[in-house]
Structure 1
Amino acid sequence: MHQLGALDNLMIAGEMPNIPLHMSALMIYDTRGKRGARRIYDALFSRLEDVADNHFPILRCRLDEVPLNLDKAYWVRDTRFELGYHIKRIALPRPANWQELYQLFGQFHAQPLDRQRPLWELMLVEGLDNVKGVPRGGTALCMKIHHSVVDGKSALRLIRGLHSPDPEPEAATFIEREPPQPADDREFAPPSLLAKLGLAWWHGVERPVELVATLGKLLPGLWPGQDSRVAPTAPGGVPRVAFNHPVDADRVVGHVRMHQPTLKKVARKFHCTINDIALCVVAGALREHLMAQDSLPERDLLALMPIDIRREREDGSIGNQVSVAKVSLFTHMDDVAERLQAISEHASAGKAGSREGSSRAMLELVDEIHPAIILGLGDWLVSSGHIDDLPQTVNTVVTNVPGPQGDAYLAGAKLVDYLGFGPLAPNIGLFHTVSSAQEHVNISFLSTAAFMADGKAYRKALENALQSVLALGTARGKRGDKGSN
């Protein structure tokens, strides 16, 4: 039997009608002069068969929930599993441009996954003839997989399972070069009702005892002054802006591309990271976007940064192992250089304060809260309308999900672009993902039409903010005086 972990079960229990909690990715390939989409479509079947059998058996598993939510759900092998259900193939009307691709992907992301089947889907899109920066005749692969199944790091490993470092169509994929890790047939065997209820009873006995032990680990670190590295929240609390209200069911996406070598020049000059630069671009875009609506608050906006705490030996494990840090975006600052330095310092403090030990203890604490309480609270917040009354803790999310490093091929077609997308959350209607492919870095965003219309204005704000940051690399001036992080 394989029971969901604490955070994974929270992803299931926390899903709401307008908020599906899956991750998604948009991958684009150069298929000029090849059989293109047909070859990729055929390759997906054979490669997914191998990946599911030898590296990711969870791809063949569905949820098996416990009656009355008396305990966390289980992953069980789906006896009705059909690979063809999970892989679709369509064509955009030609010539298709970025806006049409954005709209299609937004619709794809908006649809919740079927909980009666394994929680993932792929969609192959042909006809990319007028997409700027993409070779004519390109092909896109859209992927979504529930956050209870993978986190960012394990999702990247799954993507590597589809790609090869060699352009030969039959070349072995990245993870085919690793030792196989097939699942024991018993690991995903469905538990009987009696077994589920028996374990639920036993876990109910254990929880109070384990809760006391976990609180004993956490309380010393929560005592004021114990860790001065934790970045403080802005005085007066977190402001609420236009996209910090209940989220609609539709999804709007977009992105801006950044040239990695140019970013590295700015990073060297200011002794900061590329992720700090991405945060500064997001901050500048939010500042411009909200000023255009005459709604920029005096208090700085706050971003949530997920941090992977998966140890190297856990790379093949299932589920989520993440911590979080909060970072001020210093949206009150007009000077871009000052904002970049302030964000870099604040991000360093936030990451230092997000310690692995306390993060794992927090996951244990979530594990010790009864699943029925979590689900009942979520249902009550939605049905009562009190979800909008929750205090605002952050304004947006900015996460770093790198794509495959170096050249990567799917059935001989070269991967030329990779965009990542994450889920929205109650009163957090804007999500940013920093991802990389080849020699560029992308900042992609996910929102709704109520907050971002068709996304064009916010995409323009991101482009303007990017140009302002890149100008720092060529401007004469004093370098940042903080150490490299």
Structure 2
Amino acid sequence: MTEQSNISQLSAQDAQFLYIQSATNLTHVMAVYIFDPSTAPGGKVRFKDIIEHMRKRMDVSPMFKRKLYRLPMDIDHPYWVKDEHFDLEAHISHGRLPAPGDWRQFCIHVARHHSKPLDMTRPLWDMYVLEGLDNIPGYAKGSYAILTRIHHSTIDGVSGAHFFAAVSDKDPHGTPAIPLPEGDSPANDLPTTSEILSRAINNTVTSPVKLAQALLKFAPALVSSAQKSITGGDDKTATGVPQTRFNGPVTPHKMFDAITFDLDELKKMRLKVSDATINDVVLAICSGALRHYLTKHKELPKDSLVAVAPVNARSRSGDEANPGNNISAMTIKIWSNIADPVERLEAIRDTTRETKAAKSGLSARIMTDLTQHIPGVTMASVARILTDERFAPKMSNLMVSNVPGPQIQLYMNGAKLTHQYGLAPLAHGMGLFIATPSYNGTISFNIISDRKMMPDIEFFRECLQRAFKELRDAKPKAGARQTKKAAVAPKKPLTPGDGSVMYRRVARKPRRVAAKAGGGGKPKVK
């Protein structure tokens, strides 16, 4: 965002998420946090305690108290202005999970809340406190969820993680997890008519020049892309997108499910192939799951599926405290047409390495950068066309987002955070999003899809678990570093979202414990 005095205007990347929103393409993100109140004073947290806690943390980000000021016909990008009628209690609501209160009912309830639009006339966030989770195995008695929705124009994955860390504590006594800012957040002033017109004219006039400069900057990549299109390109970097059930129009009705694994298990998996990363392992598991799912439905394409993976564009020095978006993306093959899990991981490692080195031609990163120099009125008009289901481009088959989270135990109001999930927007032509946030030694695979595209979402969760086990049990590639498998006690009880196979000692012999497929049931001991 550009700052002058106390005037704050949305950047082009932030504004994109406003322009592409429609009745079926809502562009907010939602985080779901599960808390165990047994560590809180008296073993209980009241709804008003949560409200008061948030009231004390309102200054951790300017996003809490500011709303949008959109211009007529979107002649320029919108501005952030102070909400003079801000009421904290209007942003935090309370409810209870209906009977039977099991994992399946929880997923349905979460998906329905995610499918509702935010009130765009107020600050673009809200919280929903959900009780009644006692029938979900692995959740402590009295656990409750906080569903936090934030519009994507306000925040990205990295700044979102920073935001949650800022409202969390590192112990049950209320010690902030990160240092809090001193003083109130600066209020955003309403720009004058002359300021609005001056900025709009300047942006419209200078944008073509900046766009031309950006095109020159990316000319080598554009030429390379054109050459590969003519010659057929490198087999491991060409990104033709096959048609799947996920490449159609989405409806307003979303689906959600999740499964959680031990992060250490994924760290061991990456050692099966030299120089593989955790992100490569995540993509390999998603690819294996899609292979199983589409094979079951007799829909597996001969060509590899293609994924879009967001990339953090922030500098290593930080800037995470500032809300807004600073992301790019890469479009890569995930080699779903390779049956062997280790060979698939190796191919993904090669592909991501080539893509990151910018040797794969015109990527989503370049398109993201170019949009920064398109006038607001043009971008808004194009967005309305591209979000129409008749014209939506087929950029990929799915999106996979891997945002590292805090690896320490966090608290809020003295209650212990035990589980974390995340939901993201879908789009016409891309009706599957797999978000994989990590927290305190675990990583959850969160499935967000459309009810018509994936009515059997529980089966896809089972496919993720199957792909995880196949890669975990596969023999490493020759020459790769290996680690010994150790039989260790599970760090926490299994839940419907816990798919990692853990071990415990009983009568001096380890017994394997696997979570029952189709959440809501008790773990089976084999």
- The reply to whether TM is greater than 0.5 is yes
Residue 259 of structure 1 is matched in structure 2 by 262
Find the aligned partners of 1:436 and 1:411 in 2 and give their Cα distance.
22
Q: Percent identity?
A: 29
Find the aligned partners of 2:410 and 2:199 in 1 and give their Cα distance.
44
Residue 108 of structure 1 is matched in structure 2 by 113
Preserved contact between residue 327 and residue 350 of structure 1 (Cα < 8 Å)? yes
Moved more, 304-313 or 283-292: 304-313
Preserved contact between residue 40 and residue 410 of structure 1 (Cα < 8 Å)? no
Counterpart of 2:410 (choices 408, 411, 417) is 408
- Residue ranges of structure 1 left out of the alignment (5+ in a row): none
AA matched with 1:298: K
Residue 460 of structure 2 is matched in structure 1 by 458
Q: TM-score, normalised by structure 1?
A: 0.89
Residue 3 of structure 1 is matched in structure 2 by 9
Residue 206 of structure 2 is matched in structure 1 by 206
Residue 439 of structure 1 is matched in structure 2 by 441
The DSSP-based 3-state class of the residue aligned with 2:282 is helix
AA matched with 2:401: T
User: Where in structure 2 are the equivalents of 1:175-186 lying within 5 Å?
Assistant: 175=178, 177-180=179-182, 182-185=184-187
User: Where in structure 2 are the equivalents of 1:467-478 lying within 5 Å?
Assistant: 467-472=469-474, 475=475, 478=478
Residue 18 of structure 1 is matched in structure 2 by 24
Moved more, 4-13 or 194-203: 194-203
Q: Cα–Cα, structure 1 residues 460 and 363, in superposed 2: closer, same or farther, change >3 Å?
A: closer
Moved more, 294-303 or 93-102: 93-102
The DSSP-based 3-state class of the residue aligned with 1:216 is helix
1:359-389 superposed Cα distances (whole Å, 9 cap, x missing partner)? 9976553132122222223334556x5225x
Q: Cα–Cα, structure 1 residues 328 and 80, in superposed 2: closer, same or farther, change >3 Å?
A: same
Preserved contact between residue 155 and residue 323 of structure 2 (Cα < 8 Å)? yes
Preserved contact between residue 40 and residue 172 of structure 2 (Cα < 8 Å)? no
User: Where in structure 2 are the equivalents of 1:318-337 lying within 5 Å?
Assistant: 318-337=323-342
AA matched with 2:391: I
The offset of 1:161, in angstroms, is: 1.4
Residue 303 of structure 1 is matched in structure 2 by 307
Q: Cα–Cα, structure 1 residues 118 and 372, in superposed 2: closer, same or farther, change >3 Å?
A: same
Q: Cα–Cα, structure 1 residues 313 and 476, in superposed 2: closer, same or farther, change >3 Å?
A: closer
Counterpart of 1:278 (choices 277, 282, 288) is 282
1:22-58 superposed Cα distances (whole Å, 9 cap, x missing partner)? 11111111123757997263343334334332x2012
Residue 373 of structure 2 is matched in structure 1 by 368
Find the aligned partners of 2:119 and 2:235 in 1 and give their Cα distance.
40
The DSSP-based 3-state class of the residue aligned with 1:458 is helix
Preserved contact between residue 234 and residue 300 of structure 1 (Cα < 8 Å)? no
2:421 is aligned with 1:419: yes
Preserved contact between residue 236 and residue 351 of structure 2 (Cα < 8 Å)? no
AA matched with 2:346: Q
Q: Cα–Cα, structure 1 residues 225 and 328, in superposed 2: closer, same or farther, change >3 Å?
A: closer
1:251-310 superposed Cα distances (whole Å, 9 cap, x missing partner)? 101112112222222222333222222211111110111111111110100111101011
AA matched with 1:276: D
Q: TM-score, normalised by structure 2?
A: 0.82
2:58 is aligned with 1:52: yes
Preserved contact between residue 167 and residue 413 of structure 1 (Cα < 8 Å)? yes
User: Where in structure 2 are the equivalents of 1:97-176 lying within 5 Å?
Assistant: 97-168=102-173, 171-175=174-178
Residue 189 of structure 2 is matched in structure 1 by 189
AA matched with 1:93: P
Preserved contact between residue 218 and residue 362 of structure 1 (Cα < 8 Å)? no
Preserved contact between residue 95 and residue 129 of structure 1 (Cα < 8 Å)? no
Residue 269 of structure 1 is matched in structure 2 by 272
User: Where in structure 2 are the equivalents of 1:77-116 lying within 5 Å?
Assistant: 77-93=82-98, 95-116=100-121
The DSSP-based 3-state class of the residue aligned with 2:271 is helix
The total of aligned residue pairs comes to 468
AA matched with 2:451: A
Counterpart of 1:294 (choices 295, 298, 309) is 298
Preserved contact between residue 247 and residue 429 of structure 2 (Cα < 8 Å)? yes
Find the aligned partners of 1:338 and 1:36 in 2 and give their Cα distance.
53
Q: Cα–Cα, structure 1 residues 196 and 456, in superposed 2: closer, same or farther, change >3 Å?
A: same
The offset of 1:436, in angstroms, is: 1.4
The DSSP-based 3-state class of the residue aligned with 1:90 is strand
AA matched with 2:470: S
